[in-house]
Structure 1
Amino acid sequence: MAYKNLLVHLDDSETCAGRVAAAIVLAEAQDAYLTGLALAVETSMPTYIGGQMPVEVLEVQRAQVLERGQAVATRFDEALERSGRPGASRLVTGLDIDAARVVALHARHADLVVLGQEEPEAPPALPRHLAEDVVLSAGRPALVVPYIGAGKTLGRRVMIAWDTGREAARAVNDALPILKQAEAVTVLSVNPRPGVDLHGEEPGADIALHLTRHGVTVEVQQTQVEEINVGDTILSRLADLGCDLLVMGAYGHSRLREVVLGGVTRTMFESMTVPVLMSR
């Protein structure tokens, strides 16, 4: 079992190069084909405004958007050629309000989609919360790369945030191609209740046994915290163990175009320090 068809979302932000680099590392490890999806999206505007703008102005703006999209695709193709990996860029045009839906649609034809964390201080290259929207709607696992980029390794030392939930279970199985190649995998249960909520008498032991039967070497850890939240606890333990990847379920939903995330999921999208493989 391995990923054989990967998709990475491309944009003209300064963080895109790090995202592409992480996608190439994963493609090399999995011997996978890598597609770069570049979006040339125009800014949507009310009809009463767009209808008053000269056609010439709209055409110039459209040409500029297309040119930027083509430049993004070209940079990806050049990076791919340097890596020697098979793959290609794909340029799609549309409106900014449809960007997340388009990425999610293309992600459904891939084993995994690579996305980027939104940089808080930078102007968004696309509508805000694109990564969150795609994770919640694509139906495919997503690797979200921090805006600071990934480290020198990816998937060598992995932590699984385990809470027995459906989303976490799916994330673990979606991550199996990476977990089977990892040198160390830690299952972390934060504030588990033995014998309650499917944790069993020894929280984490059942999912560890499942992974062991797939040839994964697993260590189980449990921790109880009160003064800091679960998300911060996970981030702290990631640093303590020197992990280069977190696997977790994504919790949330969309409400009238507003993304509503669960607490730990929100913390990771805001403060992730390593790439996070999420499934929902």
Structure 2
Amino acid sequence: MTYKTVMVHLDTSAGAHTRLGIALKLAHKFDAHLDAVFAMFDPHPVGFYAMAGASDYYEAHRKFLSEKRAVVERLFQSELSRAQVQGVWAAPDGYPLTAVMQRARAADLVILGPARPKDPESYVADNFLETIVLGAGGPVLLVPETSRFETVGERVLIGWNGSRESARAIRDAIPFIARAEQVAVAAICTAPTPGPAESSCADVAAMLNRHVATPVNICRFERPATVSTGEALLKYAAEGGYDLLVAGAYGHARFHEFVWGGVSRSILSSMQLPVLMSH
């Protein structure tokens, strides 16, 4: 089992460079084809033409976006050639969330980055990341733009709570796990005494041991009452030197609003290392 098609979302934000670098490394690692999908926020023209004299501004804005897109495309093509990776560039028309979702469902691994308030160009659409994670139908690697990552997936921490989503994330991460130097399963528990999730860690470790050459460890981290489970898991991963966290994505859309699970929400808002999520 491996990833043969990797898709990375690119835009003009600062985080796009980090995502591209990781995407190229992973495409080379897995001998995969790399799809780059360019999509960024583009205001609807109706909103401009409704205002007197705004049509010229809108056309200038469109030209500006086209120039910035061309810069990113040249960077992608240059880096693709330098890394000796096979890939294609796509900048589909239409609503950006729909365009990215269509390509995501045809990929083995999708690479995205969260929007950052200090970087307006990282905003694509409302609930962009949540919609792709919950609707892609496969693993989504979330890459924060806070720092550069020399490796991704060499030291893997798995957040396990016994749920379907958690089990799905583990299976979707097996290409990483099978090649990792270190793998650990951490029970996500909120009760002071061991529960079913913690008890089943041994079963998960036994299954994964059939995929990896090194023994899979089982660990239990303490969660202070004032810290959320997601934040505690991220802290444990950072302090342990892990370069990939694997976790299930919990949530669903209801009446055009997202009901996002507490652990998933805190991971998305606080992550400082790459996180692989599946729903």
Normalized against structure 1, the TM-score is what? 0.89
Q: 1:140 aligned to 129, 138, 141, which one?
A: 138
In the TM superposition, residue 100 of structure 1 has moved relative to its aligned partner by: 2.0
Where 2:111 maps in the other structure, the secondary structure is strand
CA distance 1:164–1:56, shift in 2 (3 Å): same
Give the counterpart letter for 2:259 in structure 1.
V
Q: 2:115 aligned to 118, 124, 142, which one?
A: 118
1:48 & 1:261 partners in 2: Cα distance? 30
Which position in structure 2 is the counterpart of 1:209?
A: 206
In the TM superposition, residue 122 of structure 1 has moved relative to its aligned partner by: 1.9
Q: In percent, how many aligned pairs have the same letter?
A: 35
1:103 equivalenced with 2:81 (yes/no): no
1:73 & 1:149 partners in 2: Cα distance? 23
Give the counterpart letter for 1:235 in structure 2.
L
CA distance 1:191–1:41, shift in 2 (3 Å): closer
In the TM superposition, residue 267 of structure 1 has moved relative to its aligned partner by: 1.0
1:128 & 1:167 partners in 2: Cα distance? 23
In the TM superposition, residue 59 of structure 1 has moved relative to its aligned partner by: 3.9
Which position in structure 1 is the counterpart of 2:236?
A: 237
Which position in structure 1 is the counterpart of 2:158?
A: 160
1:255 equivalenced with 2:254 (yes/no): yes
CA distance 1:221–1:39, shift in 2 (3 Å): same
In the TM superposition, residue 246 of structure 1 has moved relative to its aligned partner by: 0.4
CA contact (8 A) 2:238 2:273 kept: no
Where 1:146 maps in the other structure, the secondary structure is coil
1:65 equivalenced with 2:65 (yes/no): yes
1:128 & 1:173 partners in 2: Cα distance? 29
Give the counterpart letter for 2:277 in structure 1.
M
In the TM superposition, residue 241 of structure 1 has moved relative to its aligned partner by: 1.2
CA contact (8 A) 1:40 1:66 kept: no
In the TM superposition, residue 192 of structure 1 has moved relative to its aligned partner by: 6.7
Q: Could you list the runs of 5+ residues in structure 2 that have no partner in the other structure?
A: none
RMSD of the TM alignment (CA)?
A: 2.3
CA contact (8 A) 1:6 1:110 kept: yes
Normalized against structure 2, the TM-score is what? 0.89
- List aligned pairs for 1:182-221, cutoff 5 A: 182-191=180-189, 197=196, 199=197, 202-215=199-212, 217-221=215-219
In the TM superposition, residue 70 of structure 1 has moved relative to its aligned partner by: 2.8
CA contact (8 A) 2:152 2:243 kept: yes
CA contact (8 A) 2:190 2:229 kept: no
Decide which moves more: 130-139 or 161-170.
130-139
CA contact (8 A) 2:12 2:121 kept: no
Give the counterpart letter for 2:132 in structure 1.
V
1:240 & 1:196 partners in 2: Cα distance? 25
In the TM superposition, residue 32 of structure 1 has moved relative to its aligned partner by: 0.7
2:204 & 2:190 partners in 1: Cα distance? 14
1:103-135, Cα deviation, whole Å (9 max, x unpaired): 111111110110012223221432244222211
CA contact (8 A) 2:11 2:121 kept: no
